[in-house]
Amino acid sequence: MIEIHQKLPDGTEIDFFSCHKCDERWWDHQGREIALADVLELARRARA
């Protein structure tokens, strides 16, 4: 399992997970799984 913690330009903190056994990947924000489209939307926000 790989976990990468990231801070987006607006300060939002997210985590990316990747499982090498099952080849699944997902994003997490504040303990809840979020879709890639939502991650991209968060990344487009201006800096706070």
**Measured between alpha carbons, how far is residue 2 from residues 12, 15, 25, 30 in Å?**
20, 10, 9, 18
Residue 9 is predicted with a pLDDT of 86
Per-residue pLDDT of the chain (48 residues; tens, 9 = 90+): 999 999 998 889 999 999 999 999 999 999 999 999 999 998 888 665
Residue 45 is predicted with a pLDDT of 82
Single pTM value for the model:
0.79
Question: E-strand spans in 1-48?
Answer: 2-7, 13-18, 25-29, 32-34
